[in-house]
Structure formats: structure tokens, C-alpha cells
Amino acid sequence: MPKAVVSEEKRRRRRPTRSGRVLSEHLIIDTALRLLREHGSTGLSARRLGLALDCDPSALYRYFRGMDDLTLAIGDTLIGQALDGWRPSDSWRDDLRRLGMRIHAAYVAHPQAAVLTTSRVTGRANELAADEAVLGVLRAAGLPVGEAVRVYHAFIDQTLAFAALDAASLALPNAALRAEDEVWRSTYGHLPAASHPNIAAAAPLLAAEMVRSAYPSALDLLLDAVAARLTG
């Protein structure tokens, strides 16, 4: 049976590391993000974290019930980074666009962490704050609660899906990324118009477009649909 997670105040008094640093949830999460950045998702373990923090791995379980609990905390931390500095204005569309771009950017800034966390529901404070914010913007725009929930669902899932897709691409080795870029230029760029007229006509645009995220365009399309419903 896992040990109970005790209060932050008690943990700070009782669990300094061997080198004298005081453990905290914030320190553990920051170190986990660094390990993910340096070693990928397979490099995150209690043993590696203990080595990086200069503490016995068992000390981590006073802060998190297990590595899955830590994964949820990492995801919630990324959402918190997205919310930091965001404030609603008098424009629902600008508010949702800024929030969506912030959430997407926060995950993509930590590709390996995003791969682990975009599909998870944390139920933690930052996730709840983000959900409350999105629903609040939609309700203030004039959508009834049922419609607001449907748009919220589409907005959140679209944002996280693109974050996961873009993060997975960024997490690829550089050689694989270069090879994919080359496919758009060489394979698609040299298809004959006789057999592939639409690709041949679009090839230069595809080579430029497909190497960047489609999230901003997809987000604008979703917001256009919401605007049409509000004015329809």
C-alpha cells in the first residue's frame, strides 16, 4: 500500500537531500523536465531522479504516490505555465486564441513531457483553472451551457492533439526531421502533373506549409465556426 503524501511544510523540514538541498514538488518536477529533455521518456525513473537530486529514490514517494502521479503533476505544471500571465479581455475570440496558443506553446516547449502528458486528465489545480477559464469565456460570449461544453471539448482536444503531434515531431532525432523535410521537397516536388496534377500544382506550397504546425490555422477555423454560431 503506498505511503500517504504528507504536507509540504512537513516534507520541507524532514527531507533535505544529501547535498543539503531541500526537496520540494517544484524541484522534483523541474528536475524531471530536465531529465525528459536530456534523455527522453525512457530516461525518467525514480532511480534517475534520485541520482539527479542526490537523494534516495524512496524520498520521492513522500511527494508523489508514484511515477504516474509525478507524470500528472508535470502535465499540470505545463498548463500552469500556459496560464501564467493570461487574463480575459472583452473579446472572447482573442481570449480563446491567446489561451489556445499558450497551451500549445507550453507543451511544445517540452516535447518529451508533452508526449507523456497530453492524453492525461490530471484533475489538478491548473487544469481546473484552464477549464474554468475556457468555459467562462464561452459562456460570457453568449453560448448556452450545452453548446459551451461542446465547443470546450473541441477546443481542448484540438489544442492537445496538435500539441501531441507537434511535440512528437520535435522529439524525433534531427536526422529523421531532415529526412521528412526532404520528402516534401524531393518526392512531392517531383511528381508529374500527368499523374498527380493537384500535388504537382501545390508542391511548392506544400513544401513550405507542411514543415510548420497547422495548429494556428486549425484554431482559427474552429473560432470561425464558433463566431458563426453566435451570429447565426
Q: Give the residue extent of every domain in the chain.
A: 8-65, 75-231
- Residue 172 confidence class, pLDDT cut points 50, 70, 90: confident
CATH code for the domain defined by 8-65: 1.10.10.60
Phi, psi of 16 (to 5 degrees): -75, 155
Closest CA to 105 of 139, 131, 79, 76: 79
Question: How far is it, in rounded angstroms, from Cα 223 to Cα 94?
Answer: 10
> Bridge-partner residues for 16, per DSSP?
22
For residue 10, pLDDT over 60 is answered with no
Is 131 in contact with 123 (CB distance < 8 Å)?
no
**How high is the pLDDT of residue 9?**
54
pLDDT in tens, 99-143: 999 999 999 999 999 999 999 999 999 999 999 999 999 999 999
pLDDT in tens, 11-29: 544 556 666 778 999 999 9
pLDDT in tens, 64-80: 999 999 999 999 999 99
Phi, psi of 153 (to 5 degrees): -60, -50
**How high is the pLDDT of residue 181?**
86
Q: What is the share, in percent, of the chain residues with pLDDT greater than 90? A: 74
pTM for this prediction: 0.86
What is the length of the chain?
Answer: 232
Is 136 in contact with 152 (CB distance < 8 Å)?
no
Is 180 in contact with 168 (CB distance < 8 Å)?
no
pLDDT in tens, 151-169: 999 999 999 999 999 999 9
pLDDT in tens, 195-217: 999 999 999 999 899 889 999 99
Is 100 in contact with 152 (CB distance < 8 Å)?
no
For the chain, what is the HEC assignment?
CCCCCCCHHHHHHHCECCCCCECCHHHHHHHHHHHHHHHCHHHCCHHHHHHHHCCCHHHHHHCCCCHHHHHHHHHHHHHHHHHCCCCCCCCHHHHHHHHHHHHHHHHHCCHHHHHHHCCCCCCCHHHHHHHHHHHHHHHHHCCCHHHHHHHHHHHHHHHHHHHHHHHHHHCCCHHHHHHHHHHHHHCHHHCCCCCCHHHHHHHHHHHHHCCCCCHHHHHHHHHHHHHHHHHC
**How high is the pLDDT of residue 84?**
97
Asked: is 75-231 a CATH 3.40.1710.10 domain? The reply is no
**How high is the pLDDT of residue 40?**
86
